[in-house]
């Protein structure tokens, strides 16, 4: 641990009280730690921590700290500063009850172009912070019949075994997610969705349709490559058809 700080190594040791640490680990921690922050602790631990604070903060003060209060000793430019008391910000109000709604809204994007957009999900990606992300790609939906007894096919890809495939999978998803065609859904303005549904139900082939031609994400990449060949590599005969 004496060499860890210069490599900017960050460790998190989680325990309930100091006596859970063996003597060598305790000496290594307190011998190398820079900044100390202590909230309200038990009196036994307070007797240990008061020595680390230079005895300027008595053990009784550490054991009797108010809620959201702490004692802090900072290491600034290699020098320990005098310990001081600090009041932390309390939790924000009205945080309960909106988690699921915020997550759902952040994941919902829709295409309202009912004339030519027909997306049918055949690929699923499960991102895991552990690094063991998984993707399922195939011709079937994620139903039990399709996954077990159906005639459809599905392929499981893992980030540990095929990271290049998962990276390509995520990159392709991002092109759809950031496409101009897909817009976030605003529940306060449902009329946009209702108009799109109404248009899809009432459209007829006899009505002329006027629209702006916009390339798909994969077509934009092809057009960029053609432009590069013409301008950078000097192939003026390459044309878009």
Alpha carbon 63 to its chain's center: 37
Q: What is the pLDDT of residue 79?
A: 82
Question: Does residue 108 sit in helix, strand or coil?
Answer: coil
Residue 206 in any domain: the answer is no
Question: Does residue 137 sit in helix, strand or coil?
Answer: strand
Q: What is the 3-state secondary structure (H, E, C) of 1-26?
A: CCCCHHHCCCCCCCCCCHHHCCHHHH
Residue 71 pLDDT grade (very low, low, confident, very high; cuts 50, 70, 90): very high
Q: What is the pLDDT of residue 69?
A: 92
C-alpha 91/C-alpha 41 separation (Å) is: 20
Q: What is the pLDDT of residue 39?
A: 92
Residues 19 and 80 in one domain: yes
Residues 120 and 188 in one domain: yes
Which of 53, 87, 121 represents a domain boundary (last residue)? 87
Predicted confidence (pLDDT) per residue in 21-61, tens digit: 888 888 888 887 888 899 999 989 998 898 888 878 888 88
Mean of the pLDDT values across residues 94-102?
Answer: 68
pLDDT value at 237 more than 60: no
Residue 94 in any domain: the answer is no
Residue 217 in any domain: the answer is no
Residues 72 and 125 in one domain: no
pLDDT value at 149 more than 70: no
pTM of the model: 0.38
Residues 32 and 81 in one domain: yes
Residue 103 in any domain: the answer is no
Q: Name the domain count of the chain.
A: 2
Which range, 11-20, 32-41, 121-130, 136-145, is most confident? 32-41
The answer to whether the beta carbons of residues 115 and 146 sit under 8 Å apart is: no
C-alpha 119/C-alpha 30 separation (Å) is: 58
Backbone angles phi, psi at 108, to 5 degrees: -105, 115
Residues 83 and 124 in one domain: no
What percent of the chain has pLDDT above 90?
A: 3
The answer to whether the beta carbons of residues 133 and 158 sit under 8 Å apart is: yes
Residue 123 in any domain: the answer is yes
Reported residue count of the chain is 241
Residue 64 in any domain: the answer is yes
Residue 220 in any domain: the answer is no
Domain that holds residue 170: 113-192
C-alpha 223/C-alpha 239 separation (Å) is: 10
Residues 83 and 9 in one domain: yes
C-alpha 174/C-alpha 105 separation (Å) is: 17
Q: What is the pLDDT of residue 141?
A: 61
Question: Does residue 232 sit in helix, strand or coil?
Answer: coil
Residue 166 in any domain: the answer is yes
């Amino acid at each position: 641990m004496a060499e860890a700080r210069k490599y900017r190594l960050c460790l998190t040791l989680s325990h309930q009280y100091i006596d859970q640490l063996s003597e060598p680990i305790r000496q290594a921690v307190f011998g190398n730690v820079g900044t100390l922050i202590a909230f309200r602790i038990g009196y036994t631990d307070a007797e240990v921590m008061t020595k680390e604070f230079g005895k300027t903060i008595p053990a009784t003060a550490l054991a009797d700290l108010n809620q959201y209060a702490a004692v802090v000793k900072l290491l600034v430019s290699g020098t320990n500063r005098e310990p001081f008391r600090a009041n932390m910000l309390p939790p924000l109000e009205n945080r309960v009850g909106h988690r699921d709604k915020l997550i759902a809204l952040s994941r919902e994007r829709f295409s309202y172009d009912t004339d030519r957009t027909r997306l049918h999900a055949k690929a699923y990606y499960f991102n895991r912070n552990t690094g063991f992300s998984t993707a399922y790609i195939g011709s079937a939906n994620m139903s039990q019949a399709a996954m077990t007894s159906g005639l459809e096919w599905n392929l499981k890809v893992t980030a540990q075994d095929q990271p290049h495939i998962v990276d390509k999978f995520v990159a392709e998803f991002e092109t759809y997610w950031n496409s101009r065609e897909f817009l976030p859904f605003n529940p306060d303005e449902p009329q946009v969705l209702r108009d799109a549904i109404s248009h899809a139900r009432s459209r007829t082939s006899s009505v002329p349709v006027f629209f702006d031609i916009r390339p798909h994400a994969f077509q934009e990449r092809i057009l960029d490559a053609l432009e590069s060949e013409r301008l950078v590599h000097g192939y003026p005969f390459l044309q878009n058809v």
